[in-house]
Homo-oligomer: A and B are copies of this chain.
Amino acid sequence: MKKTSNDIRNSRNIEQAAPCGPTAVVLLSGGLDSAVTAAIAKLRGFALHALSVNYGQRHGIELEAAKRVADSLNLCQHVVTTIDLRVFGGSALTANIPVPKSPDFSAMTQEIPVTYVPARNTVFLSLALAFAETISASDIFLGVNAVDFSGYPDCRPAFLECFERLANLATKAGVEGQRFTIHAPLIRMSKADIIREGTRLGVDFSLTHSCYDPTPAGLACGSCDSCTLRLRGFKEAGVTEPIAYSC
């Protein structure tokens, strides 16, 4: 019997139904790393609620990518919250400071670049914690990485361990015995390994956006820290980069 469009829709819903495991929050930037992180969390059986933050970033277009990624992974919920970090400034991503191009890899993990946003991951994790506590989730996933990264202090394991301790002290849930866990499954993976893992899990990288300084049309520049790391990762992984670049 030929399937009707309703049959097809129902079948698709069953295949893509959100898992019924424990609830978790994932910070979803729209970039490659957080997409792979969400796919890993989903594979582990978590019912995933994604949180994206509109913080006045130069590359606000990444929020559209976050929506595409959330839709493609059929997450339980995708919440976008707004906190304008431009009121503080202090970064090439939130103030009128040029984004450096063609970065030197050897210097990248030694010097913290001007794309560092003061306390960004502390702000993001605190919002994820507020979200997690509200929906009774004990697990928070984020896609930080301490191998192929820009040297940001709030991507290091020691920071994440300290935030986990804080989460359990800061909350009513923690006082009442719930134990929060911060998961950073990519923390010790190279960008090439992240891309290989994402490919294995069926992540559609064409939906993601990594560039700090896209053209007005949304094309990646190909030469900022983030593009440079991404391009090198695809090359090393032997995977074709599916997005277009302006140069």
Contacts and interface: CB of A to CB of B under 8 A. Distances in A.
Nearest to A159: B169
Contact of A174 (B81, B126, B153, B170): B153
Nearest to A152: B172
A193 interface: no
A129 B133 contact: no
Indicate how many identical chains form the complex.
2
Interface string A165-189: 1110111111100000000000000
A196 B118 CA distance: 37
A201 interface: no
A110 to B, nearest CB: 11
A243 interface: no
A118 B171 contact: yes
Given A87-B81, A153-B174, A127 B123 contact: yes
Given A122-B129, A129-B118, A153-B175, A166 B169 contact: no
Interface of A, helix, strand, loop or mixed by DSSP: helix
A113 to B, nearest CB: 10
Interface residues of A, number: 45
Interface string A107-119: 0000010001111
Interface string A21-60: 0000000000000000000000000000000000000000
Contacts of A153: 169-172, 174-175
A197 interface: no
A213 B125 CA distance: 29
A178 B55 CA distance: 25
A122 B126 contact: yes
Nearest to A158: B169
B88 A131 contact: yes
A17 B6 CA distance: 72
Closest 4 pairs (CB-CB, A-B): A90-B134, A118-B133, A119-B130, A83-B83
28 contacts: A81-B83, A81-B84, A82-B82, A85-B130, A88-B134, A112-B175, A116-B172, A117-B130, A118-B133, A119-B126, A119-B127, A119-B130, A119-B133, A120-B130, A122-B126, A122-B170, A123-B123, A123-B126, A125-B126, A153-B172, A153-B175, A154-B170, A156-B169, A158-B169, A162-B165, A162-B166, A162-B170, A163-B166
